[in-house]
């Protein structure tokens, strides 16, 4: 089980990312737009606006965690579970369609 403080920090990052998503996307789109070439000063203003946003609002700072334990590593995207918990659930026949490997 992950520390609760780390899980809460991740939830806070998710809220910040959702809050600033539109602002971040629109400012990036204006910087990269080739239709209306911005002057250098306008472009730097847009970059400063982008940099003034909180760091934790960037989507690259988000990290997937296990739905049950909060483990940050070995997560399966399809299930939202870590490999350890996924294996236990397959052995307990709690995941339909998943089979145990045996050789």
Same domain, 48 and 78: no
Q: How many CB atoms lie within 10 A of CB 3?
A: 9
Same domain, 30 and 80: no
Predicted local distance difference test score (pLDDT) of residue 13: 94
**pLDDT tens-digit map of 77-92:** 988 999 999 999 998 9
Same domain, 18 and 68: no
CB 86 within 8 A of CB 28: no
Same domain, 45 and 94: no
Separation between Cα atoms, residue 83 and residue 100, nearest integer Å: 13
Predicted local distance difference test score (pLDDT) of residue 35: 59
Same domain, 55 and 16: yes
Task: State the residue range of the domain holding 79.
Answer: 64-103
| DSSP-derived 3-state class of residue 96 | coil
Same domain, 6 and 56: yes
The DSSP output letter for 12 is H
Same domain, 39 and 21: yes
Percentage above 90 pLDDT, the chain: 36
Residue 3 corresponds to which tokens in the numbers above?
């520390």
- Domain total for the chain? 2
pTM, entire model: 0.70
Predicted local distance difference test score (pLDDT) of residue 101: 75
Q: How many CB atoms lie within 10 A of CB 85?
A: 19
């Amino acid at each position: 089980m992950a520390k609760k403080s780390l899980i809460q920090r991740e939830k806070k990052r998710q809220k910040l990312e959702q809050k600033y998503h539109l602002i971040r996307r629109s400012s990036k789109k204006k910087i990269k737009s080739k239709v209306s070439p911005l002057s250098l000063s306008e472009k730097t203003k847009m970059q400063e606006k982008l940099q003034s946003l909180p760091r934790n609002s960037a989507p690259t700072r988000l990290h997937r965690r296990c739905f049950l334990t909060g483990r940050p590593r070995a997560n399966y995207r399809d299930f939202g579970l870590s490999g350890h918990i996924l294996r236990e659930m397959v052995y307990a026949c709690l995941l339909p369609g998943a089979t145990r490997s045996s050789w």
